[in-house]
A and B are shown apart, each in its own frame.
Chain A
Amino acid sequence: MADYKNEFGWFAEKPKVEKKIYDRNKVAIGIVVFLVIFTIAFWKNLGKAVPPPKPALETAAIIKLPEKERTCVEDVEFMRQRHMRLLVDWREQVIRDGERYWTNSKGEKYLASLSNTCMECHTNKTQFCDQCHNYVAVVPNCWGCHLTKEEQVAKAEAK
């Protein structure tokens, strides 16, 4: 036991404070909880391969179109990114300005209507719109008021 000399010349054993992890168990639990919570997205998907959604385009209305005209109201890139903005622009145009027709970037004219234009071609809401929306977890609330094609048909038959 080596003697320890302090400035007064007195001796005591040199303090030996071990470099240990105090409260080791609690700290370990804390770290594990932190890791599990922050990597939850990894655990939930472990070993899964998630295919991207395939919105079905093959509706009777679209197949009926000639091969060359089988396009949306704008090009696909634009539709994928901005169709919700387009719909809102349509709505404002119709409701605020009373202008029911809309011309796209190629100069083609369309009736600006959710049910009577979009849903006229994309009659299969559940296989089309909903495919993507479920994937990214958005629930557009339009359908509380606007009819889908299926509903329109059902309504017409009921009359």
Chain B
Amino acid sequence: MDFFKRNILAALIAVLGLIAVAYVGVKGNLQLLFGVVIPYMALLIFFEGIIYRVIKWARSPVPFRIPTTAGQQESLPWLKRTLADKLDNPSTFPFTLGRMALEVLAFRSLFRNTRSELIEAPQRPEGAKLVHWSYKWLWLGAIAFHYAFLVIVIRHLRFFTEPVPHFISLLGEVDGFVQFFIPTVYVSGVVLVLAGLYLLGRRITNPNLRYISLASDYFPLFLIIGIGTTGILMRYVYRVDIQAVKQLALGLVTLHPVVPAGIGAIFYVHLFLVCVLLAYFPFSKLLHAPGLFMSPTRNMTSNNRKVLHVNPWNYPVKFHTYMELEDRYREAMYEAGLPLEIEPETMETEGEEE
């Protein structure tokens, strides 16, 4: 088996193993462990890990602005700047906020994604030509994936709040507007799994991508697809007692944990995979979420040509005058035949010896 298949398999086996662990554990009556202890531990790791990371990032000095952007920077007054330039290369705080918002909410830089491919071109002597083209499918897959995830997480808050705030029920109604099947099919759940499968398929089928994909790229995808699949199975096929689930969930957030009897094993599998995701988050590529907010190329105004930035960490440098240098290297300079301000005294003694 080649290296690339091994990466895929390792991640897949890890997720299947986690599912088996939860299933066996619950069959062995470890509901308290999987329903209360592990969720609390996962939450602690999640929050502590993220705060630790963010503080670690905040300790790196970023003295200068990094305008690696596609727009004209603010410069001389007669250089025209369109709205796009101002958003891509903002020179004021509101536009920086706009750039950040576009990045976070619309994945603007991913939207610019291009693809380079060798395509057959018989009329050319090489028989092929390299084309670069704008490739929006990745953007579409990614944005569908992320928004579906967000909607699902917000909808899940109905298990964690009592009374359920109105906007959560409203979101549930909007999400279930197809009114197809009972229990009503939520579009976001289906979109999450389909988009996840697309993102996975992209890595597996494209040789260039497979070459740069590691187990740590496949693992989160398998994990989230696993969470979505167990959720969908739980909702539409192997029903569990949702009222008991809500009791458990409310027990967790009111800090009076209870483990109601009679919740099916599939719920604990679902919950365990979510806990693994939470605990894995601060150690993985998933940190791109908080990382985006800490990106100097996104969160700093690019006003390099407008404002003088002095490195506040410049340390005092001892300057050396020319005479100090000459004093120091006079002999060597003389031997190399360089012109000198003061001839070395040794000359005279050498002359005398001759």
The chain A residues found within 8 Å of chain B, CB to CB, are: 3, 10-24, 27, 30-31, 34-35, 38-42, 44-50, 52-53, 77, 80-82, 84-85, 87-88, 132, 134-139, 141
Contact = CB atoms under 8 A, between A and B. Distances in A.
A155 B58 CA distance: 69
Contacts of B316: 12-13
A21 B58 contact: yes
B58 A22 contact: yes
B317 interface: yes
B246 A136 contact: yes
B107 interface: no
B70 to A, nearest CB: 26
B219 to A, nearest CB: 22
Given A17-B313, A30-B54, A45 B59 contact: no
A13 B244 CA distance: 67
Q: Interface residue tally of chain B, by bracket?
A: 35 or more
Interface stretch (B137-145, B156-164, B346-354): B156-164
25 contacts: A12-B316, A13-B315, A21-B55, A22-B61, A22-B62, A31-B51, A39-B47, A41-B157, A44-B253, A45-B162, A45-B253, A48-B254, A50-B254, A52-B260, A80-B243, A80-B262, A81-B241, A85-B183, A134-B163, A135-B162, A136-B159, A136-B243, A137-B158, A137-B168, A137-B172
Given A21-B59, A31-B51, A136-B243, A15 B158 contact: no
B68 interface: no
A87 B182 CA distance: 9
B320 interface: yes
A156 to B, nearest CB: 29
Contacts of A50: 162, 250, 254
B290 A34 contact: yes
Nearest to B328: A9
Contacts of A138: 172, 183
B313 A15 contact: yes
Interface of B: 47, 50-51, 54-55, 58-62, 157-164, 168-169, 172-173, 179, 181-183, 239-244, 246-247, 250, 253-256, 260, 262, 264, 290, 293, 313, 315-318, 320
Nearest to B172: A137
Contacts of B315: 12-16
Nearest to B237: A85
A19 B173 contact: no
Given A137-B164, A139-B173, A42 B253 contact: yes
B282 to A, nearest CB: 12
A41 B173 CA distance: 21
A126 B290 CA distance: 45
Given A41-B160, A80-B241, A30 B47 contact: no
B311 to A, nearest CB: 10
Task: For the complex of A and B, list the 8 residue pairs with the smallest distance between their C-beta atoms, beginning with the closest.
Answer: A41-B160, A137-B164, A137-B158, A81-B239, A88-B182, A27-B58, A50-B162, A12-B317
Contacts of A17: 61, 313
A87 B239 CA distance: 14
Contacts of A11: 318
Contacts of A19: 59
A31 B54 contact: yes
Contacts of B183: 84-85, 138
Contacts of A21: 55, 58-59
Contact of A52 (B164, B182, B243): B243
Given A35-B47, A137-B168, A49 B256 contact: yes
